[in-house]
Structure 1
Amino acid sequence: MNGPDQIWPEAVRTLESGKPFALATVVNVRGSTPREVGAKMIVRDDGQFGTIGGGCGEAEVFRKARILLEEGSGARLAEVDLTGDFDQKEIGTCGGIMDVFVDIWSPARDLPIARQLADAAGRSAPVALLTVVDPGARAELPPGARSFIDPAAVENGGGATIELPEAARAQITACTTDAIPSLFEFDSTGSLKPITHLDASGAPRLFVDPIVGAQRLIIVGAGHIAIPLCAMGAMLGFHVTVIDDRASFANRERFPQADAIIVKPFKAAIESLALDGHCYLISVTRGHAFDEEAVTAALLQPCGFVGMIGSRRRVKATLERLGEAGIPQERLDEVHAPLGMAIGAETPEEIAISIIAEIIRERRTGIRDDFTLGARFGRLKRNST
């Protein structure tokens, strides 16, 4: 899958082969659109890598990107109006507008920054790409001027080749650390203000594009539910790790799509992983004692998503014990349990779909509620014998 974490390694491969490319990045959206801010695709003379949503809108951006490639330099902002999907007779399910910035990357100029970005994506490091979308009245900032942003360096007054006021550096640091792609313009005080419309104002516009590496799906327990979970996680572009203390269950034959398989006691395995905010850990072990062990180990790290299956009664008792053991209540409140959206799932495959659906909702919207599969039906089957 051409996931977001693969864009920058592909950019490096292209530039190292001596070929330029046009990078198309969604910098702003209005209404319902097929892709979110920050989505991007690489356009080369032999085709494209990645997608900004497909259809006529992507085809039009591809056409404009190829023109820039033929010209060999430059940058432009393209408005993709999906309210009528160009020449289509009917309006599709997406009825919004995307603002897409297209600029040329060349081997001689841009290979070093592409390598920095690819390295950061591989490590899920909190850095960002800063790009001038519109220079406004500042002629010294050409469209497409770019800089690699490391929050630690920015806080110390460095790390950016684009000159920034102190207030702007602080805002960019916050966006980078929080991994929130944002389109800004300078105001009269030198601060940055977010914008959603690109009407000409004479003020410079910058796009802060945090680098998000491969999000990790850690499946604790290698029973029946774990098999479809691994397959679906890989299909969605997650880096998938499967953990179990039994080699007869956690092996390559059962999990051919897994990126990593760890055969260790659950606690030791989780402690060996550097969990962060890009991690989704789900406990589907063969017993509640193991789930409690796994969830405890995950909550002691800054894991972004922690979930476990089980009945409401079992979940309540488990979380109470964790609270008594000293896990802060705010962390316990973040646990997704009982895990799985309310779709009436019964089979391991259906339960896996319900779990993946809850992960997607959290991943895309940040919204969660208590009306889960477990809350509605009162139970979830164990996933293993």
Structure 2
Amino acid sequence: MTQAPEAWHAALNRLQLSGTPHVLATQVTSAGSTPREPGARMVITADTIFDTLGGGTFEWQTISAARDFLQQGSAGFHLEAFSLGGRSGQCCGGFVNVLLEVFPGVSSHIALFGAGHVGCEIVKLSAPLPWHLDWYDSRTDIFDEQDDQQPRLSCHTLTSPQESVLALPPHCHVLVLTHNHDEDYALIAALLRRADIASIGLIGSDSKWTSFQSRLKRDGYKPEEIQRVRCPVGAVHGTKLSNKTPYAIAMTVVTELLWLTDKPTAHQTRGLEPDALRSLFHDTATNPS
């Protein structure tokens, strides 16, 4: 376990921007003798901790619980209760409640092929969203130095469509909008060979897509495979915009991606369970620190 010198608030800001999975642990109540007081915080990742709740077995148990939630992808709030003399076996013998806020990192991976006008607008519009973007273009001088410094954005030179597609993570959402039709086709053909790609969007006119479909059929792709491609990308209910500016097209593409990447919660109750809150408030009222 690595203890980093970075303060919890600095680490939290950096991890939030980068989309790295992490947990913010906050001591919310104290009763009796405890290592630290309510308001103490620490940040926990899969391999590093930032700051401390006081050390000892109680802190180790907090870290273990946080990492279990990260591994399970259990986003949201979790309340952990520690009897320091009982559960944690510490001599101080107090009682604390710790709130674990689990941030599982980026919600989706997006691969964007093409750094033209529409691609640039898509990247700008996507910046505040909890996505990681891998951005590809075969032109070696197309990316600015500042592009590689944006949080959750990685820029790559596209040398081989087949190799780049093979390197994509599973369940990735892919947009193909390069400056070259042959490059677009090579990417679409490679993407259709991967059944684990979540969605495939292609920019283009009806005539371009008709031509691509004919080529794909000649190359042995089945109709159900070809239907995985959305073209033109960003068409809402099959309706195309009359406004064809890069910004307008990018807005429809990002909106479409929001629907495709949305993961509705399985429970109507969000946050802490009501019973946990009632117990917490009862303990605070009867055992004030």
2:226 paired residue number:
332
Work out the CA distance in 2 between the residues paired with 1:254 and 1:109.
Answer: 40
Asked whether 1:109 is paired with 2:61, we answer yes
2:181 paired residue number:
288
| CA distance 1:107–1:312, shift in 2 (3 Å) | farther
Work out the CA distance in 2 between the residues paired with 1:348 and 1:212.
Answer: 29
Say if 1:225 and 1:351, in contact at 8 Å, map to a contact too: yes
Say if 1:266 and 1:290, in contact at 8 Å, map to a contact too: no
1:351 paired residue number:
249
Say if 1:243 and 1:250, in contact at 8 Å, map to a contact too: no
SS at match of 1:225: helix
Q: Deviations over 1:37-90 (max 9, x none)?
A: xxxxxxx8389x9xxxxxxxxxxxxxxxxxxxxxxxxxxxxxxxxxxxxxxxxx
Say if 2:176 and 2:187, in contact at 8 Å, map to a contact too: yes
Aligned positions of 1:79-90 closer than 5 A: none
Q: Deviations over 1:115-173 (max 9, x none)?
A: 2444x4xxxxxx45499x9xxxxxxxxx979xxxxxxxxxxxxxxxxxxxxxxxxxxxx
Q: Gaps (5+ residues) in structure 2?
A: 1-12, 30-37, 44-57, 82-101, 265-289
Work out the CA distance in 2 between the residues paired with 1:326 and 1:333.
Answer: 14
SS at match of 2:230: coil
Work out the CA distance in 1 between the residues paired with 2:21 and 2:263.
Answer: 25
Aligned residues: 200
Work out the CA distance in 1 between the residues paired with 2:257 and 2:188.
Answer: 16
Letter in 2 for 1:334: R
Aligned positions of 1:7-156 closer than 5 A: 8-9=21-22, 11=23, 14-15=24-25, 19-20=26-27, 45=39, 107-118=59-70, 120=71, 127-129=72-74
2:47 paired residue number:
none
| CA distance 1:245–1:21, shift in 2 (3 Å) | farther
Letter in 1 for 2:64: P
State the Cα distance separating 1:303 from its structure 2 match: 1.0
Say if 1:230 and 1:255, in contact at 8 Å, map to a contact too: no
Say if 1:3 and 1:237, in contact at 8 Å, map to a contact too: no
Letter in 2 for 1:362: L
SS at match of 1:357: helix
Aligned positions of 1:238-249 closer than 5 A: 238-249=131-142
Work out the CA distance in 2 between the residues paired with 1:231 and 1:212.
Answer: 20
| CA distance 1:110–1:319, shift in 2 (3 Å) | farther
Say if 1:4 and 1:214, in contact at 8 Å, map to a contact too: no
Asked whether 1:227 is paired with 2:120, we answer yes
Letter in 1 for 2:261: R
State the Cα distance separating 1:337 from its structure 2 match: 0.9
CA RMSD of aligned residues (A): 3.8
State the Cα distance separating 1:326 from its structure 2 match: 3.0
Asked whether 1:313 is paired with 2:207, we answer yes
2:164 to 270, 286, 311: 270
SS at match of 1:216: strand
| CA distance 1:363–1:222, shift in 2 (3 Å) | same
Q: Gaps (5+ residues) in structure 1?
A: 23-43, 50-105, 121-126, 134-142, 146-208, 367-385
State the Cα distance separating 1:271 from its structure 2 match: 3.1
Say if 1:4 and 1:212, in contact at 8 Å, map to a contact too: no
Letter in 2 for 1:275: P
Say if 1:270 and 1:297, in contact at 8 Å, map to a contact too: no
TM-score, length-scaled by structure 1 = 0.44
Work out the CA distance in 1 between the residues paired with 2:105 and 2:75.
Answer: 14
Work out the CA distance in 2 between the residues paired with 1:46 and 1:330.
Answer: 55
2:259 to 332, 349, 361: 361
| Aligned-residue identity in percent | 17
State the Cα distance separating 1:3 from its structure 2 match: 6.9
SS at match of 2:63: helix
Work out the CA distance in 2 between the residues paired with 1:324 and 1:335.
Answer: 17
| CA distance 1:300–1:113, shift in 2 (3 Å) | farther
Letter in 1 for 2:258: I
State the Cα distance separating 1:8 from its structure 2 match: 4.5
Aligned positions of 1:155-304 closer than 5 A: 213-253=106-146, 256-257=149-150, 259-277=153-171, 279-301=172-194, 302-304=196-198
